[in-house]
Structure 1
Amino acid sequence: MKKLALLLWLTLIFSCGGVSTSEKSQKVRISYSIDTVVIDSKEDFLFLKHDLSTFGISKDKRFLFNIDELGSRLEVIDLDSLILKEKIPFEREGPNGVGPEHIANFQVLDNGNFCFFNIHKITVFSPDLKKVSSHYFYPEVFENDTLPYGSEIDLMRGRINGTGSRFAGLNFIFFENEILGIALVDLEKNELKLIPTDKLDYLKELIYTTVYENGSKIHQIEGNYVDFFEDKLLLTTTAKNEVLIYDLEKDSLKSKSFHSKFTADIKKGNFKAETNSDLASRKRELEVYYGRLIFDESNGVFWRYSRESKSSNSNSPDFEYVLTAFDKDLNQVHEEKLEVDWTHVPLIKFIKDGMLYTYLNIEDELAFLRLKPTLNEN
């Protein structure tokens, strides 16, 4: 397989005209094109073990930075030319070390600084990988609010705002699988603000727990997405057609629910009846899955993928994929069932030049499926 960036599929153009229900009253038309490109890795191997779960994008969307945790290198990919530009080694130990722990999360700030997350610490580095600051998330280090006894802050799924001044993530009790609310941390003052909520209690009902003979347990849980947008904090999950909106200026939390005419609005949890964990995992995948809300600056809207299988047979799923648009105020504008035969989990990794990029692994090559939607109002 050639390692040059390839256009694998002929561009498909669709025009869909339906009227949105429980949305804006006017008619909406969506056209979209689809292609797939492969990154030219220059006969080298890219780290794809974790399906591009620890990566970041530069503010101008020119470069993608992927963490090679095993090789302790930062893979720099030019998204304009679709080639591997370089691999930059980073230190594990010493004054500029990221630490020996598992890198659970990674982010690129607006000024180009890199943020490495482990289970209890965020370390910020300059673009030349010199340490700028370290932020510890132990209960005793915070001013203002105090973490409830036995609870933690989820750094794996948390986010820092573009300026690097604030962090947000869930506050939860790990061993009880209980989400207490949202933790907001002022990284400059080391102040913690807790935002309690019971609006995520439904997630506890969707946990599948496997107990082994030695007493150890493994929990299968739903994903969640935390994002800063302007003066708001947005929290969504893979299990429900809803967004929690925290107003950073007004200190207020509200929820906004949506309705889909193509999928269920909440995961039913039928997989929990299975005694076999592998079968339960496969049946979980058949139920509705909501991806992350990603803002498209070129079109001024949020986009989100979702999917659900119309077949209950885990050996022969029949997935329907849906693309939904929301305006800046998170009003549902339109949803459209896509005429595709995909099998991958529908998760937008990032948006560049109005195209929604979804990660693919094609014969151990890094690839992206790109969908470019156009939203037109008649």
Structure 2
Amino acid sequence: MDPTPISFKAISDITICKLPIPSSTWHFGLFCLMSIFFGFVSVSCQKGNNEQETYTMNYLVDTVLIDSKERILYISGYMKGSSLDDDEGSFFLYNHHDLSIDEINLDRKEFVETYPLDAEGPNGVGNFILDLQVLDDNLFFGKSVPFSTVFDKSGRVIQKINWLTAKDSVGDPFGEGPPNSEVVVDTKNWRVMGTNLDFLKTTAFLGVLSVEDRLVKNINIDPENSFSNYFLKADNYYQNPWVFLGSIENYIYVSHEYSNEIIHFNPEGELVKVVNYEPKLTPRRANLPETLTGTREQIRRESRKLMEQVRFEAPVWDKVNRRYFRLSAKRIFEEGAEDEFLPLKKTHVFLTVFDAGFNLVSEIELKELFDENYKYFAKDGKLWICQNFSDELGFLVFDLKIN
């Protein structure tokens, strides 16, 4: 199923990130400035008839450092509040230091301009932008709480998106709060999609919001019932599977971190297909927790067990080679560690490559990476992964060759 372009832009989704970055990352970043890594990995290609053939994949990985021109960029997190423009030339990064959007020219490898925003007033975008999407006509979509906004480079708000005032066909509200993730799918009629979690029913659902009509249609996004068995609870403490939402060409996709399935919808919210595949380097999904409710310590241990097995990120589209990239990871914790995050000993990060029809082509371990949580995207047919090199913005760029 080969995508055909329509008028909205690919984004990446919001992730709750709590993992620390090992100090060795900074040393490695400096080492990368002087080295180019070359690796050969044998991988398997899964054809439509499920026959397996062995391929050789090799890649070069280089480091790109951005000249910030003394601008203090906001790179303290995993840089999820960012977006690549459709020409793949500019990378836009939210800056919480002064509530603005910074533009990075990736071809010139330098900061070029900042676009200030207002927190309140007629052009208010909120105090914090959780996710960013580049739209057509030099517009941006910024997800915030309790409402989100579409604004231009001058900071003028073009459209506000408020889910809290929206009702469904029987008059019920979308939810108690705004969606976890949002994506604009239509700027002409102002239609937005958003995912939310229902802790009582232990499932996730997709809302399709008609902004002007304030009407929302809720859609089940768990056709294989894979979400509900990963909701962990201890008193008022929740550990839920994080749900990713994004747009790639003419698809809306939904995925979650503990299962490899990728659920595709069209822009009207109709189910297109569910992608399943058989990875070789990770499990297809994490084994179900032994218990879903318990003490906070028990729930943290269960969460740690899940992350030791596998954690999937969202796919991104390489329009040059017409393929998809997806990162996943398995973590190794220090022996005897009781917390689900600390102390972390090692993270194995894997790349899965799909063709345009979402057939698995190959998968490899990217040994140069210490974490899969960073924002990543495809540019010029290569995989770019954001990195924080001693408080300087940089990227690891993987040039993949599949023979």
The normalised TM-score by structure 2 is 0.78
Partner of 2:36: 11
1:32 aligns with 2:42: no
How far 1:298 moved relative to its partner?
0.9
Residue in structure 2 matching 1:110, options 120, 125, 136: 136
- Of the structure 1 ranges 104-113 and 16-25, higher mean CA displacement relative to structure 2 is found in 16-25
Partner of 1:241: 260
What do residues 273-314 of structure 1 show as CA deviations (whole Å, max 9, x unaligned)? 885376666555423011110010111001111121467846
Local SS of the residue matching 2:37: coil
Contact 2:208/2:269 (CA < 8 Å) preserved in 1?
no
1:289-368 superposed matches below 5 A: 289-309=311-331, 313=335, 315=343, 317-338=345-366, 340-345=367-372, 347-368=374-395
How many angstroms apart in 1 are the aligned matches of 2:227 and 2:271?
22
How many angstroms apart in 1 are the aligned matches of 2:114 and 2:319?
29
1:160 aligns with 2:184: yes
How many angstroms apart in 2 are the aligned matches of 1:90 and 1:150?
28
- Of the structure 1 ranges 190-199 and 277-286, higher mean CA displacement relative to structure 2 is found in 277-286
1:184 aligns with 2:208: yes
Contact 1:271/1:284 (CA < 8 Å) preserved in 2?
no
Partner of 2:287: 268
- Of the structure 1 ranges 175-184 and 253-262, higher mean CA displacement relative to structure 2 is found in 175-184
> What is the identity, as a one-letter code, of the residue corresponding to 2:202?
E
1:42-53 superposed matches below 5 A: 42-53=69-80
Partner of 1:133: 159
How far 1:243 moved relative to its partner?
0.9
What do residues 221-241 of structure 1 show as CA deviations (whole Å, max 9, x unaligned)? 322221223333211111111
How far 1:148 moved relative to its partner?
4.8
1:97 aligns with 2:124: yes
How many angstroms apart in 1 are the aligned matches of 2:227 and 2:34?
38
What do residues 338-368 of structure 1 show as CA deviations (whole Å, max 9, x unaligned)? 4x15321255522111221222222222222
Local SS of the residue matching 2:229: helix
How far 1:120 moved relative to its partner?
3.5
How far 1:249 moved relative to its partner?
6.5
How many angstroms apart in 1 are the aligned matches of 2:215 and 2:307?
39
Contact 2:82/2:92 (CA < 8 Å) preserved in 1?
yes
Contact 2:259/2:285 (CA < 8 Å) preserved in 1?
yes
> What is the identity, as a one-letter code, of the residue corresponding to 1:130?
R
How far 1:122 moved relative to its partner?
2.1
Local SS of the residue matching 2:159: strand
How many angstroms apart in 2 are the aligned matches of 1:192 and 1:150?
7
What do residues 25-80 of structure 1 show as CA deviations (whole Å, max 9, x unaligned)? 45544221112222222233211233212122222122222222242222221111
Contact 2:79/2:374 (CA < 8 Å) preserved in 1?
no
1:57 aligns with 2:79: no
Local SS of the residue matching 1:263: coil
How many angstroms apart in 2 are the aligned matches of 1:150 and 1:300?
36
Local SS of the residue matching 2:227: helix
1:288 aligns with 2:310: yes
How far 1:370 moved relative to its partner?
1.6
Taking a change above 3 Å as real, the CA distance of residues 7 and 19 of structure 1, as seen in their structure-2 partners, is closer
The CA RMSD over aligned residues, in Å, is: 3.3
Contact 1:16/1:31 (CA < 8 Å) preserved in 2?
yes
How many angstroms apart in 2 are the aligned matches of 1:375 and 1:320?
21
What do residues 139-185 of structure 1 show as CA deviations (whole Å, max 9, x unaligned)? x434x635756825753422123757432222433x53733421122
Taking a change above 3 Å as real, the CA distance of residues 325 and 167 of structure 1, as seen in their structure-2 partners, is same
How many angstroms apart in 1 are the aligned matches of 2:368 and 2:175?
42
How many angstroms apart in 2 are the aligned matches of 1:109 and 1:131?
13
Local SS of the residue matching 2:369: coil
How many angstroms apart in 1 are the aligned matches of 2:328 and 2:245?
17
Contact 1:233/1:246 (CA < 8 Å) preserved in 2?
yes
Contact 1:306/1:322 (CA < 8 Å) preserved in 2?
yes
Contact 1:6/1:37 (CA < 8 Å) preserved in 2?
no
How many angstroms apart in 1 are the aligned matches of 2:282 and 2:159?
45
Partner of 1:214: none
Partner of 1:227: 246
Contact 1:292/1:347 (CA < 8 Å) preserved in 2?
no
How far 1:127 moved relative to its partner?
2.4
Taking a change above 3 Å as real, the CA distance of residues 317 and 162 of structure 1, as seen in their structure-2 partners, is farther
Give the length in aligned residue pairs.
Answer: 363
What do residues 96-151 of structure 1 show as CA deviations (whole Å, max 9, x unaligned)? 22134x3232221122201122233221112222121212112x434x63575682
The normalised TM-score by structure 1 is 0.82
> What is the identity, as a one-letter code, of the residue corresponding to 1:166?
R
How far 1:262 moved relative to its partner?
1.4
1:206 aligns with 2:225: no
1:255 aligns with 2:274: yes
Partner of 1:194: 218
Contact 2:122/2:157 (CA < 8 Å) preserved in 1?
yes
How many angstroms apart in 2 are the aligned matches of 1:321 and 1:190?
42
How far 1:330 moved relative to its partner?
1.5
